[in-house]
Amino acid sequence: MTVDQTNPTGEAALAWEALLDLGPGPGPRVARLERAVRDAVRAGRVPVGAALPPSRQLAETLGVSRWVVTEAYGQLVAEGVLEARTGSATRVATAPAALVVPEPTRAPGTGAAHAAARPGHDLAPGVPDLRHAPRDAWARATREALATATNDDLGAPAPSGHPAARAAVAGHLHRARVVAGGDEAVVVTHGATSGMARVASALVDAGHTHVLVEDPSWPVLRDVAVRAGLEPVPVPVDADGVDVDALVRAARRTGARAALLTPAHQFPTGTALAPERREAVVAWARDVDALLVEDDYDAEFRYDRRPVAALQGLAPERVVLLGSLSKTLSPAFGLGWAVVPERWREAVARAGRWAPAPSTVDQLALARFVASGAYDRHLRAARRRYRHRRDAVLAALARELPGTGVRGLAAGMHALLDLGPGAPDAAHVVREAATRDVAVVDLRRYQVSPAARSTTLVLGYGNLADARVDRAVALLAASVRAAQAA
């Protein structure tokens, strides 16, 4: 589709003419529009400084809602691909950054392809404190792993992971998450995304066609399921977690016998699955011979009490647990795990036959890192840091945005910010915030079917420097006021 907007003043630099092909591919329309704009800029079809059409005009031309366009524009501004100034058109950045399409393993709400592109005031969810990644401890673990590795260790990686890494992960999960199962249940992966890819492929091979997903939820794992051939079936989430009665009805309607859940700390609503619902969803899985896929996300970060045990411990024969280092250390480490029921192990192993296993050296470093106690020490320090930072963010919000409401457990690295009645649309706030070097995300980004209007933001504090908390919240408040006045 060709979009042509000429500048009323006649300046050629303001012309926009590009082929924006959203296509029928996987993923929500907003993500496909982002990719289309990035491709147009990367390929040089759109010159530096060119103005984009107004959101309403482009929405009408593409046959999408205006929210899709404003959300895509806001995300690309936050990435540095586009520039936005109050009272002026959105333009291609003078020096476009982050033109690499973000990897599917990126954290929810983030679009930066590399750390240099992250905003100065990072209120995007799902990113840990990159300043405190345990570089020295990991380097020491790597040196020790290499020094003691046998010749056989340096051969081709085992498909399910090195025995030392599997044992270390199993031991940690048993202690910290009350996960059942021995070393043989653990598959070492590149992260939760690659683990989900294996599980989804195994489900398709076994004849499954649908997977029940929480709505809202992290879209990356939903997209992985789509690419494998599964159709996501949305199930609503409330203050007690996923609505299990609605899940059962949706399963009867579609024949779905698999569900992707985040019981410990739901993303993005911040709820925990209530005890009676945990028991109910396990009972459903047993009744219909279903598989539950538990995304453990940031479950180790609970500040008001001990983290709730993994659902997997209730029904190890019915639950696959996915975890990774991406939220506890950093996505750059590229390591994760899946704890797989015995019945599904062969199928999950077979599904990974074309995917390279993580580096054996990295796996041995992980084993050393865990066995030495460095991982536990890092988690304890991170909990203290995030708890204090969450308190500081909430105090700043109370000062700068009185009348707004914060939802979500005292856990993880994010919360929901309800702007309140009469507030501006969240997409407008996101765009205003991007012009002030603040990254924040509209809740609709995580909804399977985005609402027509939203006044709720998903606000992260994991990668926000402590010294910038007050300034970041003040800039967010200014963005809300500017969006209200627009």
The pLDDT value recorded for residue 79 is 64
The mean pLDDT value for 287-314 works out to 93
The pLDDT value recorded for residue 419 is 96
Strands (E) across 152-278 are located at 186-189, 210-215, 231-238, 241-242, 258-261
Of residues 459, 434, 484, the one with CA closest to residue 117: 434
Q: Where do the domains of the chain lie, and which CATH numbers do they carry?
A: 1-101 (1.10.10.10), 135-374 (3.40.640.10)
Dist CA 215 CA 379 (whole Å): 29
The mean pLDDT value for 77-104 works out to 61
pLDDT in tens, 326-356: 999 999 999 999 999 999 999 998 887 766 7
Q: Which residues 6+ apart lie within 8 Å of 98 measured at CB?
A: 79, 80, 81, 111, 112, 113, 114, 117
The pLDDT value recorded for residue 17 is 42
76 three-class SS: helix
106 pLDDT above the threshold of 60: no
Read off the amino acid at residue 176. A
Question: pTM (2 decimals)?
Answer: 0.80
Dist CA 150 CA 162 (whole Å): 12
Q: In this predicted model, which residue has the larger pLDDT, 467 or 57?
A: 467
| Structure tokens, 250 | 């949706």
Preceding omega of 268 cis (within 30 degrees of 0) = yes
The pLDDT value recorded for residue 313 is 96
407 three-class SS: strand
CB 465 within 8 A of CB 230: no
Element (H, E) at 349: helix 342-351
Of residues 41, 104, 26, 113, the one with CA closest to residue 73: 41
Dist CA 242 CA 266 (whole Å): 9
Burial of 150 (0-12, 13-18, 19+ CB in 10 A): exposed
The mean pLDDT value for 172-192 works out to 95
Q: What percent of the chain has pLDDT over 70?
A: 88
The mean pLDDT value for 5-25 works out to 48
Could you tell me the pLDDT band of residue 434, with boundaries at 50, 70 and 90?
A: very high
Q: In this predicted model, which residue has the larger pLDDT, 360 or 100?
A: 360
The mean pLDDT value for 4-10 works out to 40
Pairing of strands 82-83, 91-92: antiparallel
Could you tell me the pLDDT band of residue 95, with boundaries at 50, 70 and 90?
A: low
The pLDDT value recorded for residue 59 is 81
Identify the top-confidence range among 79-83, 101-105, 412-416. 412-416
Of 42-51, 111-120, 153-162, 435-444, the one with minimum mean pLDDT is: 111-120
The pLDDT value recorded for residue 184 is 96
SS3 content of the chain, % helix, strand, coil (to 5): 45, 15, 40
The pLDDT value recorded for residue 78 is 62
pLDDT in tens, 221-248: 999 999 999 999 999 999 999 999 999 9
